[in-house]
Amino acid sequence: MVLSNTFSKSDESIHSTFASRYVRTALPRFKMPENSIPKEAAFQIINDELMLDGNPRLNLASFVTTWMEPECDKLIMASINKNYVDMDEYPVTTELQNRCVNMIAHLFNAPLGEAEAAVGVGTVGSSEAIMLAGLAFKRKWQNKRKAEGKPYDKPNIVTGANVQVCWEKFARYFEVELKEVKLREDYLVMDPVKAVEMVDENTICVAAILGSTLNGEFEDVKLLNDLLVEKNKQTGWDTPIHVDAASGGFIAPFLYPELEWDFRLPLVKSINVSGHKYGLVYAGIGWVIWRSKDDLPEELIFHINYLGTDQPTFTLNFSKGSSQVIAQYYQLIRLGFEGYKNVMENCRENMLVLKAGLEKTGRFNIVSKDNGVPLVAFSLKNNSCHDEFEVSDYLRRFGWIVPAYTMPPDAQNVTVLRVVIREDFSRTLAERLVIDIQKVLHELDTLPSKITAKIALNGENADKNVTVVTKKSAIETQREITTVWRKFVMEKKKMNGVC
């Protein structure tokens, strides 16, 4: 009698993920793996590794939206396979983009007639928006100079040293010189007087920032406009203004409607804003609006013809997802003017709560202003023992990501910590952050700073020896070198290369 073994080894496909062999093999890093693996295993492996990323909502370094309503998430997921550039295949999506452009143009007081279509486009972010705006200025200026028979090979742009890195990218990639107005310790944004002084015949535009990345301040666009109008009268150069309202564009109209910074000022020819900052949409959407058709040279626009319909396009990117455009439209009609205003007022209120809590510790100077982007930038009153970078490091242990930066020239001595208040940073989180900062300070206080540690170590031998030779231990030397190197690298680093 033959006893056959009917107990078969269980089929691999029924193994639970963590029982299967897939979690024993190393994940491929440099070469595409030869064989396929089950989708559950692929999902689990990648999901697990991603657990070690920071928590987006606790990332207080970023202005970019980290929470949206579930209804909007549904719309986003449903349109994730729609290629936005297929205007003929997805006419409604294209229409939604056009509506957003019009709404934002009206929000910025663009001089449009009742049924006149606004000039603008959706982009992947403010970087693309700024590059398009800059291209338009460059081309307009070149055409003007060619018509005048003057040289047009050395265009430049005047900005503050506090600009976001994408202006530097624009300058370098599109071969435009960047003339930066240096900051001062007590004036951390672009000084309009100095800016206008720097304008020359090769200046294609002056770029002002509404909501500086470093301390949230709004630059004085009105003053810039007035001074530049005067200079233009004298020189006849007709230099225009661009407002980089990446953060401020969705704050000023709701919180400070009297502030004149947009198309109400005649020299402002284009404005960019990030939909994914205070436009309250996930990462991946920006907008650029031109004052009128004349401000966008026709030769930069491409006409794509699909099945007979003509659609003009002027973007750097071609194929991309439609989700964020639809999400932006959702927010505009879901919240409306009143809704956005409420959200911004909440942010400002929570910002004031955080600021008050920090001031109460008595250990910080507040560098940011009350009016501007809702953020709190603060520096230590006394950073001789421990500096802001250490505070930032220690806060990480509680889960908070609070960045520390040094200011760009000429204010490099100022180091700040910065907390951005987004829509989803509630009052409870603000209070919790204050408590955690106090805990961190307490810990740092008990920890000896590196100098005191050295002296303490040798203090015991002080009675025995006449001379106190402070002998450094191997680790101490290393630490000192690291600290010096770090400070050196920090200073060298372009701390204004920040988002």
Instruction: Name the segment binding other proteins (CB under 8 A); options: 161-169, 212-220, 230-238, 353-361.
Output: 161-169
Interaction of residue 225 with other proteins, rule CB under 8 A: no
Question: Of 450 and 486, which has the nearer Cβ to other proteins?
Answer: 486
The binder of other proteins chosen from 20, 97, 126, 270 (CB under 8 A): 126
How is residue 472 annotated by DSSP? P
Question: Of 1 and 32, which has the nearer Cβ to other proteins?
Answer: 32
Whole-number Cα distances in Å, 457 to 444, 461, 475: 19, 8, 13
Residue 421 CA to residue 347 CA, distance in Å, equals: 6
Interaction of residue 222 with other proteins, rule CB under 8 A: no
Chain position carrying tokens 């204050």: 434
Structure tokens that stand for 252 in this block: 């000023």
74 burial type by CB count under 10 A (0-12 exposed, 13-18 middle, 19+ buried): exposed
How is residue 347 annotated by DSSP? H
Interaction of residue 310 with other proteins, rule CB under 8 A: yes
Residues 414 and 406: beta-carbon distance below 8 Å: yes
The binder of other proteins chosen from 18, 19, 23, 91 (CB under 8 A): 91
The binder of other proteins chosen from 291, 320, 355, 418 (CB under 8 A): 320
Instruction: Compute and round to an integer the Cα radius of gyration of the chain.
Output: 28
Residues 129 and 286: beta-carbon distance below 8 Å: yes
The helix or strand, by DSSP H or E, that contains position 127, with its residue range, turns out to be: helix 126-148
Interaction of residue 268 with other proteins, rule CB under 8 A: no
Instruction: Name the segment binding other proteins (CB under 8 A); options: 189-197, 207-215, 309-317, 448-456.
Output: 309-317
The distance of closest approach from Cβ of residue 16 to other proteins in the complex, given in angstroms and rounded to an integer, is: 15
Question: Of 120 and 192, which has the nearer Cβ to other proteins?
Answer: 120
Question: Of 97 and 225, which has the nearer Cβ to other proteins?
Answer: 97
The binder of other proteins chosen from 109, 223, 284, 371 (CB under 8 A): 284
Residue 427 CA to residue 93 CA, distance in Å, equals: 37
Residue 85: half-sphere exposure toward Cβ, Cα within 13 Å: 14
In sequence order, what are the beta bridge partners of 419?
Answer: 376
Residue 355 CA to residue 335 CA, distance in Å, equals: 27
The residues in 226-265 that bind other proteins, with binding defined as CB under 8 A, are none
The distance of closest approach from Cβ of residue 438 to other proteins in the complex, given in angstroms and rounded to an integer, is: 21
Torsion, Cα of 32, 38, 41, 43 (10° steps): 80
Residues 285 and 128: beta-carbon distance below 8 Å: no
Question: Of 3 and 115, which has the nearer Cβ to other proteins?
Answer: 115
Chain position carrying tokens 């709190």: 376
The residues in 103-122 that bind other proteins, with binding defined as CB under 8 A, are 103, 106-107, 115
**CA neighbor of 472 nearest in space, from 486, 456, 454:** 454
Whole-number Cα distances in Å, 488 to 295, 403, 427, 440: 45, 18, 38, 25
Instruction: Name the segment binding other proteins (CB under 8 A); options: 8-16, 192-200, 304-312, 352-360.
Output: 304-312
Interaction of residue 135 with other proteins, rule CB under 8 A: yes
Interaction of residue 178 with other proteins, rule CB under 8 A: no
The distance of closest approach from Cβ of residue 189 to other proteins in the complex, given in angstroms and rounded to an integer, is: 21
Instruction: Name the segment binding other proteins (CB under 8 A); options: 59-67, 360-368, 425-433, 460-468.
Output: 59-67
Instruction: Name the segment binding other proteins (CB under 8 A); options: 89-97, 365-373, 408-416, 451-459.
Output: 89-97
Instruction: Name the segment binding other proteins (CB under 8 A); options: 233-241, 307-315, 364-372, 447-455.
Output: 307-315
Instruction: Name the segment binding other proteins (CB under 8 A); options: 3-11, 232-240, 256-264, 482-490.
Output: 482-490
The residues in 364-393 that bind other proteins, with binding defined as CB under 8 A, are 389, 392
Beta strand 375-380 with 415-420: parallel, antiparallel or unpaired?
A: antiparallel
The residues in 12-41 that bind other proteins, with binding defined as CB under 8 A, are 27-37, 39-40
